[in-house]
Amino acid sequence: MDEELERDERVFLLGEEVAQYDGAYKVSRGLWKKYGDQRIIDTPITEMGFTGIAVGAAMAGLRPICEFMTFNFSMQAIDQVINSAAKTCYMSAGLQSVPIVFRGPNGSSAGVAAQHSQCFAAWYGHCPGLKVVSPWSAEDARGLLKAAIRDDNPVVFLENELMYGVPFEMSEESQSKDFTIPIGKAKVERQGSHVTLVAHSRYVSHCLDAAAVLSKEGVECEVVNLRSIRPLDMECIEASVMKTNHLVTVEGGWPQFGVGAEICARIMEGPAFNYLDAPVTRVSGVDIPMPYAKILEDNSVPQIKDIIFTVKKTLNI
């Protein structure tokens, strides 16, 4: 964000505690000190209002980054995201663009209970007019955020609180000021030949961990990091499935109408269907509001053992 703020003076950040508090999760640390009140704005706790304000500013030529302290609070403002931001370019037949980024942590955390743990990938991924990205690695976060800020369209940028503290190795190229990752393109994080695992955000880590365990048993998983929810990179997934003949999707969100459900439908509509040796299976969060107690919470989200179990069932081993 610092680099993009420096590069383009139309870019500014607004949200709760982003300025003087340095960010609720310290993501915007140092920015207010460097850029001041006009470009880093602390808002009152009024999501519907400040999201509308952000969208309006985008319509009038600025490039706002609108932070939700968590995406759970974006529900208060979802009308502005969908009806005011997503649909406007279409409704105006291209006359009015909305170059805005909505970002913040998405999905479950640790012990924050039902109202603070929902994954919104499926909800936002459902709507035309939005681009929706869900980074996993530090490289993803950096490249996709820069791409999102430079994009002339509304982008929903789904971060993950538990991933904020996870360190990653980064190439020199990925540390350059102009490093961007194209929105709508997935990345194969691990090559494999027996089964394709597709995930986004934190669950890419789970898939890689499961793949390491399965490798010892002679099962080689190909792990696809979606990076983008909308557009979905079906070409990448299909190419992988045509190689491995098996597909397991993994997500933290609820199963019904989820990211995995969409992938299943599209696989059936495309060329990869005929290469499947078994039905596609989905690993997802349990279909309940998130409980608080640790033992219940741990069993409400996909664990590595669930992925391993599902792979073996899919491969019939």
Partner 1 sequence: MKRVLTAISNAFSRVTGKNAGSQTVSEGARAVVSPRTSDYTPQATFDVKKCDLHRLEEGPPERVELTREQGLHYYRTMQTVRRMELKADQLYKQKIIRGFCHLYDGQEACAMGIEAAINPTDHVITAYRAHGYTYTRGGSVQKILAELTGRKGGIAKGKGGSMHMYAPNFYGGNGIVGAQVPLGAGIALACKYQGNGQVCVALYGDGAANQGQIFESFNMAALWKLPCIFVCENNKYGMGTSVERSSASTDYFRRGDFVPGLRVDGMDVLCVREATKFAADHCRAGKGPILMELQTYRYHGHSMSDPGVGYRTREEVQEVRSKSDPITMLKDRMLSNSMAAVEEFKEIDTEIRKEIEEAALFATTDPEPALDDLCSHIFHNEPPLEVRGTNPWSKLQSIS
Handedness of CA 175, 181, 244, 307 (dihedral sign): positive
Q: Using an 8 Å Cβ cutoff, are 311 and 210 in contact? A: yes
Give the residue with the Cβ less far from partner 1, 97 or 281: 281
The nearest distance, CB 3 to partner 1, in angstroms, is 26
String of DSSP letters for the chain: -HHHHHH-TTEEEEETTSSTT--TTSTTTTHHHHH-TTTEEE--S-HHHHHHHHHHHHHTT-EEEEE-SSGGGGGGGHHIIIIIIITHHHHTTTS-----EEEEE-S--SS--GGG----HHHHHT-TT-EEE---SHHHHHHHHHHHHHSSS-EEEEE-GGGTT------TGGGSTT----TT--EEEE--SSEEEEE-THHHHHHHHHHHHHHHTT--EEEEE--EEES--HHHHHHHHHHHS-EEEE-SS-STT-HHHHHHHHHHHSGGGGG-SS--EEE---SSPPPSSHHHHHTTS--HHHHHHHHHHHHT-
- In the annotation, is 206 catalytic? no
The nearest distance, CB 258 to partner 1, in angstroms, is 11
Q: Using an 8 Å Cβ cutoff, are 188 and 222 in contact? A: yes
Q: Using an 8 Å Cβ cutoff, are 276 and 100 in contact? A: no
Catalytic pick among 6, 9, 16, 47 = 47
- In the annotation, is 172 catalytic? no
Give the residue with the Cβ less far from partner 1, 140 or 161: 161
- Cα dihedral angle (7, 9, 14, 19), rounded to 10 degrees? 80
> Cα–Cα distance between 174 and 86 in angstroms, integer?
29
Catalytic pick among 3, 17, 116, 220 = 116
Give the residue with the Cβ less far from partner 1, 171 or 316: 316
Q: Which residues of the shown chain bind partner 1 in the complex (CB under 8 A)?
A: 16-17, 20-21, 24, 42, 44-46, 48-49, 72-73, 75-76, 109-116, 255-256, 281-289, 291-296, 299-303, 306, 309-310, 313
Give the residue with the Cβ less far from partner 1, 72 or 134: 72
The nearest distance, CB 118 to partner 1, in angstroms, is 11
Give the residue with the Cβ less far from partner 1, 54 or 236: 54
The nearest distance, CB 272 to partner 1, in angstroms, is 20
Give the residue with the Cβ less far from partner 1, 14 or 144: 14
The nearest distance, CB 307 to partner 1, in angstroms, is 8
The nearest distance, CB 76 to partner 1, in angstroms, is 7
Give the residue with the Cβ less far from partner 1, 49 or 270: 49
The nearest distance, CB 120 to partner 1, in angstroms, is 14
Tell me which residues are annotated as active site. Answer: 47, 116
